[in-house]
Chain A
Amino acid sequence: MSAHAENLTHDDAHGHESHGALSENNFLGLPNIKLAMWAFLGSECMFFGSLIGTYFFYHGNSLGGPLPKDVFSIGITSISTFLLLMSSLTMALAVDAMKQQKPLTARTFILITAALGACFVGFQVVEFHEFYTEKHLVFAGANASLFGSTFYTMTGFHGTHVTVGVIWLLIMSVLITKKKLVPGKEAVNVEVMGLYWHFVDIVWIVIFTFVYLLEFLK
């Protein structure tokens, strides 16, 4: 290591605010973290594309167990879908409030978003429970079917993504409370979270449309 390092660590000129600015180069004029999120979402497209592709690759191949039409109840799932869509609205409002230097308003919307996301996950848990106990759609083991394995895996990974988002939102609200996440330069962190949240939402729109609704297309 350079001999200079030792002398400089006591330099108090830089507070905690300076983090993030590791290199002054910023060629595209976009924050690094935003660019990273877009690249990551591209990767996620391939991930969910593979999961949803697997579901349709096996669609109609099950040798036993219930069929999709036997288990889906569009009414209930429509409610949870509506809640998730509304959470995208509150997420957008949170991003906007942060940009307008209103961290406490942003925190309120973040918490509402997290609550809506948690409700969605709750609905999913109830749905899984009902499918398993009443409709006998089995994920694994002796009575498992291809529909069960692919359906639970695909929607389960989506639910996991929502859960990760909820935890992320909660951490963010703690950071805002502790004034470790402040408007200005760091508003982009909320915006990046918003990109993730909208993406997870869009994935659900795809799943709800193609997996659930199209089953009932006459």
Chain B
Amino acid sequence: MASIADFAAAQKPIYHQERPSKTGLLDWLTTVDHKKIGILYGGAGLFWLLIGGLEALLFRIQLARPDQHIFVGDTFNGLVTMHATTMVFLAVMPMIAGFSNYFVPLMIGARDVAFPRMNAFSWWTFFAGSLTINASLLFCGAFPAAGWTGYAPLTTRDFSGMPIDFWWAGLTLLAVSSMVAGVNFVVTILNLRAPGMTLMRVPVLAWMMLVIQFLLAFSFPPVAVGLILLAFDRTFGTVFYATNMGGDPHLWQHLFWLFGHPEVYVLILPSMGIVSEILPVFTRRPLFGHHAVIFSGVFIGFVGFGVWGHHMFTAGMGPIADAAFASTTAIVAIPTGVKIFNWIGTMYNSKMTFPTAMLFAISFIPMFTLGGLSGMMHASPPLDLQQHDTYFVVAHFHYVLVGGALQGLFAGFYFYLPKITGKLMNETLGKIHFWVFLIGFNVTFFPMHMLGNHGMPRRIYTYPADAGWNTENLIATSGVFLMTFATLVFVYNLLTSLKKGKDAGSDPWDANTLEWMTTSPPPVHNFDFTPVVLSERPLWDHKYTPGFEIPVPEKAEEIHMPSPSWKPMWVSGSAGLIIVGLLTFNGVFGIPGWPLCIAGALGIIFSVYAWVTEPV
């Protein structure tokens, strides 16, 4: 059992780099280390989570009482649009990317991702995209205000101003970033597994990450096409979304939701994976129906491409399409139910402990189930016609995305952060965070079910006092303050744990999987020797099952680690230049932007040449 530590002490494993890593700020700019890029993604995600939460707080204050005029018209629409855009693309997705970057290579026993520089490229392109979307506030003094779904022709030049240009530009960069990351991680998870880690021995979280990487790679192209057509309409005057030229508003909806629904599963599957990792650790038993949980996740990923039409029941697709999408949507309940029963089966009659990570993981199950049940109602077109664009839908997807995705990510933070920082987070503060957040979340979103059924539409900035919506709106807004307080407690806890936290050691939870085998934080090369995987729970069996000890090699292996590189940033910057060129294509102050497009294209060719000839 002590042999792994003995090996580290005796062998002093060393690694080779073509060029040494830089130090300080330059290190963060040039790093290709999956752990550092994971921290960058996670940090950015947390930052935008706070910004997106602030936006929600502002428009909930506007909605607290009837007939208020604090944020009206496009200001309100901008806050709503940016709240959703920020939460989906800039908060939850990068947090998922953070977990996937940091932990997937560790979980599968690899030293880095398959293409470390492409990984850095994904990060810098994401970074550029996140700034571009929000830059509209700086350059136009207003946020994009057409809703996060950006329905064309509402987003065409006839109906929306400059901020929408920043919106499509930023989202296009995010789409490129996600597609590249998807390809990179598909290869990583399939090909960089440690010896002996057959597909059924891949940890459930890594499996769910594999599923979402396929979803990212295959679902972003349709929305990228939709955004490109929108950009062409707005920049060059093409007529894709021009209804007076025969254009059809369905086009954008199809392209967007063919991306948009798989995207929902991109947001939820990693949290399901996190819960599937945490429950076995704190129940001290294997995951009930381990293979069924994996296969149901894969099944959700497949079906995810066949259900997008349920967002469009009110758009007039016709009865055959409505019926088909209603059936496929109902099918999603089956694999989801399989997962829920397996989680309950894991916990049933077990000797559980309840640290904060476990509390969030447990509360994920009923909260997500509530969101799932109201979702099933929307699978029925007649019911959906009643509920479409009401607060009932808002309640539904917040139960799925906050009660589900975000709670799962919080569970992940408490569980996995000690591996990143080497310090445990404070449990008392953690429990305050958990209970206040859980109560605040339900106080905010449960009344919205009632509001929706009483007919309050989404995306209205105020309502008359005699509409009968006053009490529920006031309750909902008060809940937001509880959630805000809880989130600030979490951030405080996280920051103070960096200095004051108790040392975590390599395996604070007595866990199952490979990432807990190495030190906290892990060394640059992750593992002193490549672990050989003998079971579904390699570390657990190493510790407790005789005959399943992870074999320790006689001698240190040669370890080659990738070198730092500026090239990913060059390519991202050149891509950004093309986007800026398109934004200013028709001229700003009389200077046309198209030369920037040419410069960007040449920049990409030049930097890619430098990239492929650079020794790593």
Q: Which stretch in A29-37, A74-82, A127-135 binds the other chain?
A: A29-37
Task: Say which size band chain B's interface belongs to.
Answer: 35 or more
Q: Can you show 6 pairs from A to B with CB atoms below 8 A apart?
A: A1-B27, A24-B557, A47-B221, A63-B246, A144-B237, A148-B239
Report A-chain residues with C-beta under 8 Å of the C-beta of B608.
Answer: 171
Report A-chain residues with C-beta under 8 Å of the C-beta of B562.
Answer: 22
In B561-615, which residues have CB < 8 Å from any A CB? 561-562, 605, 608-609, 612-613, 615
Tell me how far the C-beta of B16 lies from the nearest C-beta in chain A, rounded to whole angstroms: 5
Residue among A16, A144, A167 with the highest chain B CB neighbour number at 10 A: A144
B 18-57 to A, binary, CB cutoff 8 A, 1 in contact else 0: 1111010001000000000000000000000000000000
Other-chain residue from A14, A28, A43, A63 in contact with B245 (beta carbon distance below 8 A): A63
Q: Is the CB of B191 within 8 A of A32?
A: yes
A 1-21 to B, binary, CB cutoff 8 A, 1 in contact else 0: 110111111010110101111
In B149-179, which residues have CB < 8 Å from any A CB? 179
B 258-280 to A, binary, CB cutoff 8 A, 1 in contact else 0: 10000000000000000000000
Quick one: given A36-B115, A43-B221, are A149 and B238 in contact (CB under 8 Å)?
A: yes
Q: Is the CB of A146 within 8 A of B221?
A: no
Q: Is the CB of A39 within 8 A of B232?
A: no
Other-chain residue from B21, B116, B221, B240 in contact with A149 (beta carbon distance below 8 A): B240
Q: Is the CB of B186 within 8 A of A58?
A: no
A18 to B17, CA, bound (A): 10
Report B-chain residues with C-beta under 8 Å of the C-beta of A8.
Answer: 14-17
Other-chain residue from A11, A25, A64, A139 in contact with B194 (beta carbon distance below 8 A): A25
Report A-chain residues with C-beta under 8 Å of the C-beta of B111.
Answer: 22-23
Q: Is the CB of A39 within 8 A of B187?
A: yes
Q: Is the CB of B191 within 8 A of A140?
A: no
Report A-chain residues with C-beta under 8 Å of the C-beta of B190.
Answer: 27-28, 35
B 371-389 to A, binary, CB cutoff 8 A, 1 in contact else 0: 0000000000000000000
Q: Is the CB of A146 within 8 A of B218?
A: no
Report B-chain residues with C-beta under 8 Å of the C-beta of A180.
Answer: 613
B401 at the interface (CB under 8 A from A): no
In A95-141, which residues have CB < 8 Å from any B CB? 139-141
Q: Which stretch in A49-57, A83-91, A200-208 binds the other chain?
A: A49-57
Report B-chain residues with C-beta under 8 Å of the C-beta of A16.
Answer: 18, 615
Q: Is the CB of A57 within 8 A of B248?
A: yes
A2 to B12, CA, bound (A): 11
B184 at the interface (CB under 8 A from A): yes
Q: Is the CB of A27 within 8 A of B225?
A: no
A46 at the interface (CB under 8 A from B): yes
Report A-chain residues with C-beta under 8 Å of the C-beta of B219.
Answer: 46
B193 at the interface (CB under 8 A from A): yes
* A-B complex: 4 closest residue pairs judged by Cβ atoms: A47-B221, A46-B221, A50-B225, A149-B238
Report B-chain residues with C-beta under 8 Å of the C-beta of A144.
Answer: 237-239, 245
B182 at the interface (CB under 8 A from A): yes
Report A-chain residues with C-beta under 8 Å of the C-beta of B182.
Answer: 39, 43
Q: Is the CB of A42 within 8 A of B246?
A: no
A203 to B67, CA, bound (A): 56
Report A-chain residues with C-beta under 8 Å of the C-beta of B226.
Answer: 50
Residue ranges of B at the interface with A (Cβ–Cβ < 8 Å): 12-21, 23, 27, 109-112, 114-116, 179, 182-184, 186-187, 190-195, 197, 214, 217-222, 224-226, 228-229, 232, 236-240, 245-248, 250-251, 254-255, 258, 523-525, 530, 557, 560-562, 605, 608-609, 612-613, 615-616
Quick one: given A32-B191, A50-B225, A145-B239, are A6 and B20 in contact (CB under 8 Å)?
A: yes
Q: Is the CB of B609 within 8 A of A171?
A: yes
Across the interface, name the chain A residue whose C-beta is closest to B197: A27
Q: Is the CB of B15 within 8 A of A153?
A: no
Q: Is the CB of B15 within 8 A of A25?
A: no
A175 at the interface (CB under 8 A from B): yes
Report A-chain residues with C-beta under 8 Å of the C-beta of B192.
Answer: 23, 25-27, 32
Tell me how far the C-beta of A192 lies from the nearest C-beta in chain B, rounded to whole angstroms: 12
A8 to B17, CA, bound (A): 7
Tell me how far the C-beta of B20 lies from the nearest C-beta in chain A, rounded to whole angstroms: 5
Tell me how far the C-beta of B331 lies from the nearest C-beta in chain A, rounded to whole angstroms: 22
In A163-195, which residues have CB < 8 Å from any B CB? 167, 171, 175, 180
Report A-chain residues with C-beta under 8 Å of the C-beta of B251.
Answer: 54, 57-58
A210 at the interface (CB under 8 A from B): no
Q: Is the CB of A42 within 8 A of B217?
A: yes
Residue among B114, B245, B247, B530 with the highest chain A CB neighbour number at 10 A: B245
Report A-chain residues with C-beta under 8 Å of the C-beta of B246.
Answer: 58, 61-63, 145-146
Tell me how far the C-beta of A139 lies from the nearest C-beta in chain B, rounded to whole angstroms: 6
Across the interface, name the chain B residue whose C-beta is closest to A17: B615
Report B-chain residues with C-beta under 8 Å of the C-beta of A28.
Answer: 190-191
Report B-chain residues with C-beta under 8 Å of the C-beta of A54.
Answer: 225, 229, 240, 251, 255
Q: Is the CB of B609 within 8 A of A11?
A: no
Quick one: given A32-B115, A144-B239, are A46 and B218 in contact (CB under 8 Å)?
A: yes
Q: Is the CB of A23 within 8 A of B218?
A: no
Report B-chain residues with C-beta under 8 Å of the C-beta of A7.
Answer: 14
A140 to B236, CA, bound (A): 6
Across the interface, name the chain A residue whose C-beta is closest to B254: A57
Report B-chain residues with C-beta under 8 Å of the C-beta of A36.
Answer: 114-115, 183-184, 186-187
A163 to B605, CA, bound (A): 12
Quick one: given A26-B191, A32-B114, are A5 and B524 in contact (CB under 8 Å)?
A: yes
Across the interface, name the chain B residue whose C-beta is closest to A2: B524
Across the interface, name the chain A residue whose C-beta is closest to B232: A153
Tell me how far the C-beta of B13 lies from the nearest C-beta in chain A, rounded to whole angstroms: 8
A28 to B240, CA, bound (A): 44
A203 to B239, CA, bound (A): 24
Tell me how far the C-beta of B183 lies from the nearest C-beta in chain A, rounded to whole angstroms: 5
List 20 additional A-B contacts (Cβ < 8 Å) besides A22-B561, A43-B220, A141-B237: A2-B525, A4-B14, A4-B15, A5-B15, A5-B17, A8-B15, A9-B17, A22-B112, A25-B195, A25-B530, A39-B183, A43-B183, A46-B222, A50-B221, A64-B245, A140-B232, A149-B239, A153-B229, A171-B608, A175-B612
Other-chain residue from B186, B530, B616 in contact with A35 (beta carbon distance below 8 A): B186
Q: Is the CB of A22 within 8 A of B524?
A: no
Report A-chain residues with C-beta under 8 Å of the C-beta of B616.
Answer: 19-20, 22
Report A-chain residues with C-beta under 8 Å of the C-beta of B228.
Answer: 153
Report B-chain residues with C-beta under 8 Å of the C-beta of A171.
Answer: 608-609, 612
Q: Is the CB of B238 within 8 A of A43?
A: no
Across the interface, name the chain B residue whose C-beta is closest to A24: B530
A150 at the interface (CB under 8 A from B): yes
Q: Is the CB of A58 within 8 A of B524?
A: no
Report A-chain residues with C-beta under 8 Å of the C-beta of B612.
Answer: 171, 175
Report A-chain residues with C-beta under 8 Å of the C-beta of B613.
Answer: 175, 180
Q: Is the CB of B560 within 8 A of A14?
A: yes
Report B-chain residues with C-beta under 8 Å of the C-beta of A148.
Answer: 239
A2 to B524, CA, bound (A): 7
Report B-chain residues with C-beta under 8 Å of the C-beta of A27.
Answer: 190-193, 195, 197
Tell me how far the C-beta of A91 lies from the nearest C-beta in chain B, rounded to whole angstroms: 19
Other-chain residue from A4, A39, A167 in contact with B186 (beta carbon distance below 8 A): A39
Q: Is the CB of A44 within 8 A of B221?
A: yes
Report A-chain residues with C-beta under 8 Å of the C-beta of B229.
Answer: 54, 153
A146 to B218, CA, bound (A): 26
A30 to B191, CA, bound (A): 8
A24 to B553, CA, bound (A): 15
A2 to B193, CA, bound (A): 24
Across the interface, name the chain B residue whose C-beta is closest to A30: B191
